[in-house]
A and B are shown apart, each in its own frame.
Chain A
């Protein structure tokens, strides 16, 4: 069965790269209280971190030993 964390991880990572890249090339500043922030870059990093976390979790489970997998499945 497809590990759902992989498509989720890749989706957010690709979009994060797009946002950060675009945000650095074309900075659009938006008001954040009394300051101005580059929302694309900041939120791109947040989304990228989330995507990387999903991929890391999927990778960890794929490479877990059979014993570890068994103990996880019994608690599900």
Chain B
């Protein structure tokens, strides 16, 4: 790939802006509330775009393009089944509990609703998950820049780590959120021409569908059985992806929920996931379609005859279509997506570490300035650990398989805990803790059995869906059983934490275009229309 001076100049301008935002916000980071929660003062359009951008890391950009090339349009299930319903559920039903209880983190909610052990289990597992995911973004970035520019992988990892460290340690969550919004626009404007050029090249969607292998251009038509590119039927899609993995991630993962907690009011916090849902419905156009186009336009992609894996679908499309100049924009968009994924995980990690581990168990009753310093140090330590985990990812064939494996361990059982905790007052603290432990163990055991070839699935993706489903069911059943034999919390202590105990969902009431229910209805119509068009 011919990368010119103009391309490096664009990358340099980007670095200057992200660091500049961090410096500009530094003087406002005077206490932990500002550093970890942006003083709860950000407008919903910013938190909404940051909500989606924090998720717009390597998984979304490279992983979805790779899946588009591997599985075809069925990959869009990760958006229209595996994200939108859960994002709307979070906004309407769960956000009032998160925002209304004035918590700093998701583990803190578990402490209020259940007990310390449940919080500790979740805080530690979440901290592990965030550094694993941050490492994933570092690895993906290093892979791309090795492939495209022949940069040394370790050097790429260190440069990106230093830049992310600088702007998150200086400007805290606000800096991360602001940069995520810049990164969002950069990703959209950086990759959209790729889809337009590619579709023009193959004769539009009809032309692309005609050139793809059978089944690659249909969402649902072949999901009556497992004989489709993804190897999953509609039951696995609905249960594993649409319910367990999706709700487990979008409704409980602090990485995304932290963005909504930074909103200026409860209605703004409720609008945050819904505003994010609008671009999410349309994102397959800039993430999945380039991958599908690559399968047609890049001969040998994903075959054993070449060394071009599916993960390289997007970089290869950049190399094919973008001249110097636009190439710099495309490369910077990739860099931005990796850095936003990294920063999102790191800011969530430093908050959970400082509030839920350090302040709760290691050093209680210190000054606010002390915890602010610990938060900044945790940012650096989190990035250092992420560099180590980047090398773990290299052992996985597909980025998406790695990510879904992690989510099935941690997020799938957690959603059962939250569902019971938020909507069932009888759910006891020890019921929740035991269910969470058994659910996670069920996922780990099942993963071990699959790795030992004792269990097998039609595809790695099908294994992820079913492992998540089993983990959720085990957690759900164990929580209910143990709750019946252990003491629940008194109703008075559950005020504002459980549905029906004083706090109800607020549906705005102001102008219609800011009403969460109206906005959610529009998103539903758009999602159904997309499903019908690509049926």
Contact = CB atoms under 8 A, between A and B. Distances in A.
Interface of A: 1-2, 4, 7-8, 10-12, 14-15, 18-19, 22-23, 26, 28, 30-33, 39-40, 43-44, 46-47, 50, 75-76
Contact of B325 (A1, A2, A11, A19): A19
B326 A4 contact: no
A44 to B, nearest CB: 8
B264 A39 contact: no
B176 to A, nearest CB: 12
B189 A32 contact: no
B265 A4 contact: no
Contact of A50 (B13, B185, B323, B514): B185
B6 A31 contact: no
Interface string B308-328: 000000000000011111100
Please name the 4 residue pairs, one residue from A and one from B, whose CB atoms are nearest each other, closest first: A28-B323, A40-B325, A33-B200, A22-B325
Contacts of A11: 13-14, 17, 182, 186
Contacts of A7: 17, 20-21, 24, 178, 182
17 contacts: A1-B41, A2-B21, A4-B46, A4-B178, A4-B181, A7-B17, A7-B24, A11-B14, A11-B186, A18-B13, A23-B325, A28-B324, A33-B201, A39-B322, A39-B326, A43-B189, A76-B265
A49 B25 CA distance: 27
B348 interface: no
Given A2-B24, A18-B6, A50-B185, A75 B325 contact: no
B53 interface: no
Contacts of B299: none
A1 to B, nearest CB: 7
B510 A39 contact: no
Contacts of B9: 18
Nearest to B6: A22
A75 B97 CA distance: 22
B201 to A, nearest CB: 6
A39 to B, nearest CB: 5
B323 A12 contact: no
A75 B510 contact: yes
Contacts of A47: 189, 329
B193 interface: yes
A14 B17 CA distance: 11
A6 B43 CA distance: 15
B6 A39 contact: no
A29 B379 CA distance: 44
Contacts of A19: 325-326, 329
Interface centre among B28, B43, B182, B325 (most CB of A within 10 A): B325
Contacts of B268: 76
Contacts of B6: 18, 22
A20 B124 CA distance: 50
B521 to A, nearest CB: 19
A30 B511 CA distance: 46
A75 B28 contact: no
A33 B196 CA distance: 10
